[in-house]
Structure 1
Amino acid sequence: MCATHQQQVEVLHVDDDPDFTELAKGFLERKDSQLTVETATNTDEGLQHVSDRPPDCVVSDYNMIGMDGIEFLETVREDHPDLPFILFTGRGSETVASKAIAAGVTDYLQKDSGVEQYELLANRIQDAVEAQRGAEQVTRQEQLMRLTELAGDTGGFEVDLETGAVLLTAGTRRLVGLPEETQITLEEAINFYHPDDQADVRQTVIQAAETGDQTRGSWRLQTTDGEQRFVDVTITPATEGNDTAIVRGAFRDVTEQRAREQKLNAEQRIIEQALDTLDSLFYVLNTDGTLRRWNTKALELTGYTEQELAEIHATELFAYDDRETIRDAIETTLVDGQVVVEAALLTANGECRSYEFTGRQLTDADGNVTGLIGIGR
C-alpha cells in the first residue's frame, strides 16, 4: 500500500519530561489530523510500546536518564531496522548527530522555543513514514502483484516513461485477452480503454509522473473480444532521485460489483418510491433516538427540511408532555421488539397533531439491534 497523507500515522514520542511530551502531543495532533501520538516518559516504557505495538514512527529525546536517545535507537534497531526514528533533542552537536547517523537514525531535529518546531516535526514525521512505506511497496511490488491476482480478476502493470514500454502481469493479459508474447506500448495500452475514457487515463498517468503522488481512476476497459469491463486502477510512481522513470499499478475488475450495485440501487429506488407513496409517516431511528431515514410524508407532516430532520432527536418532534412517553416507547421497542403508542406530533410551526405510532425493533444479519422502524398514522 502506497503512503499518502490521507493515511493515519501512529507516532510514539519518548521523552523523560512528561509536560513536554503532552505539549508536543497536543501541538502535533492539532497541526496534522493524520497524526496520533502516544507518549512514553522513559526508554523502558518506549521499548515495551514498540514491542507490543510498533508505531509508524518513533520520536525520541537524546538526553534522558538511564538510556540516552542513541542507545534507545540502537536497541530499537535490533528488532526494527527500518522503523522511522527521529531524534528530537535540545542537545545538538555534531558528535550527537554523527552518532545518530551511524546508529541508523532517520532524521535529526533540534528542539526550539517556538511553535513552528512542531509543524516542522509533523512534516518530518510524515516524510519519514511516506518514504518508508514507499520503500516497502517497491520491495514488495512483485509479491503484491502475485497476491492480488490470486484474489480475483486483478492485474498489475509497469510503464517505462522514457521508452513507453509496458510490462503486464499474467492476470492483466488474461483480462484483456493479450497473448503472453504480445508486447505493447503505453499508447497501445491506453487504446484498450473506452474512447471517452482514454484522455482521462492518459492524464492520470501524467499526473502520477509529474507529482510523484499515487493516483486512482475508474474506467471502462475493452477486451480483445469486444467485451466491456469496469476496472478500478491505482497508479504509483517509482522515483529515482527527483525523477519518476517508472509508474507501477494494479487494477481490479469490478464489473460484477458494478452490476450488483446497480441492481441494489434500482431496488433501493423502488423501495424509496414505495415508501413515498404511503399516506402514513414512515421512519427509521438509530439506537440513540436520532432519525436515520424517513419518507416524503414525514417531511410534509412535520414541516421540517431534510437537513433539520437529520439533526434532530425523535423526542423533539413531540409535544413536551409526550416526550417522556416517546422516550420510554423507544427504549421498550429496542428491548422488547415492538410497541404501539399515541402521542401529539409537534410540527415545525408549533401545531400539534395526534398520531398512533407502531414501532418494531430493527436488527442486522447477526441479530444485533441497530435501531427501530415504524409507521405513524
Structure 2
Amino acid sequence: MDVLMIDDEPDFVEQAKMFLEKEEERLDIDTALTGEEGWSKLEENAYDGIISDYKMRGMDGLELLKKVREERDTDIPFILFTGKGREEVAMKALNFGVDRYLQKKGDPKSQYGVLADAITQEIEHWHSKKEMRRSEKKYRELSEKSLVGTYIIQNDVFKYVNPEFCKIFGYDEDELIDEKYLKLVSPEDKELVKEGVENRQSGNGEEKRYTFQGLHKTGRKIDIEVFSVPSTYQGETAVVGTLIDITERKRAKEKFRSLFENIPIMAFVLDEEGRLKEFNEAFRQKIGYSREELIGKHLTDLPNILSEEDREKTLERFKKIINGECKDWTEIMEIHELDDPPTCPKCGSGKIGMVE
C-alpha cells in the first residue's frame, strides 16, 4: 500500500514513516514537507492513500484536500493527522471529503498504531469500492446490449433497468429508477412476485425461475418469464434478474393446444425414446384406453395401432426422425387394423403422428 505523508516537520515525518512501516508491513510511506511538494508528487505518482498535517507553510492540509477532491476528481483515502484540533477545522475537512480526522496526541507508539489501522482500513475499503465499480460497469456494459430485460431491485425499488427491460414495459429508464417494482405487476400476481422478491432481497432466498402477468405502461397485461437471484449492489443486498416477454409464445402455445385437441384425426406427441407424452381426444377415443393407461407407453406397445409386421419398419422410421434424417412428420407410422383409417390433411395418406 503506497501512502503519501505530508508534514512540514522533517523529524516528525521520518519518525512517523519508521513507526507506520513497522506497525503495518504492507505500508510503504513516501514523504513530502509542503503541500506544494505533496501535490507535485501526486501528479507524478500513484498512491493508495494520503496522510496530511493541517497547519503547514504555504498550502495547508485543507487546501490540499480540496484540490485533490476537485481537481483530481478522486476519492482516494485522505486522513488529516494534525495537532490543531479545532472544531471548525474538522467541519471544513468533512465538508471537503476527508475520510478521517485524527489528532496528534498521546504516546507515539499508540497514536501511530491507530493511524496505521485507520489508513489500512480506508485503503482496503477504497479498493473494494473500486473493484465493485469495475464489476458494475462491466455488468452494465454487457446488460445494455442484452436481448433480455435486466434489472436490479433494492429496498423494493428499481436501481437499474436496461434498454430491453424498458422496451418490454413501455417506459423510459428515468420513469422506473427508484420506482416501486410492484407497479409493473398485475394485481392478481402481486403477492406471488412480492414473496419472491422479499425472500431474495433478504439474502435468504435461492435463485428462481417463474412466470407472472406484468403491466405495460399502456395498461395491457403481458406474460413475463423471469429468472432472479439474491445478490449485492453497492455493498447492500439486492435482487438481480432477467426477464423476457412470453406473451406471443404463450398465445401460440394456446392456439396450438386448441388445434391439437380439436383436430378430427388422431394426433400424439412422443419423447425421444418413442414413449407417449401427449395425445388428443380423437386418439384416446380410437384406442379406447384412459389417459392414465396410455401416458408413458411405447409407440410399438399401443394396441390397435400397428400390425405385427410393421413394428420393425415403424421403429426404423422413428429412429430416422429422432436423428434428423426424416423431416416429414407424416412418415412416423401407418395406421392399421382400423375400419376407417383417418387420413393426414397434408398428404392424404393414412400416415399420422407428431414428434416433440
Name the structure with the higher strand share.
1
TM (norm. structure 1) is: 0.41
Instruction: Give the greater-gyration-radius structure (CA).
Output: 2
TM (norm. structure 2) is: 0.43
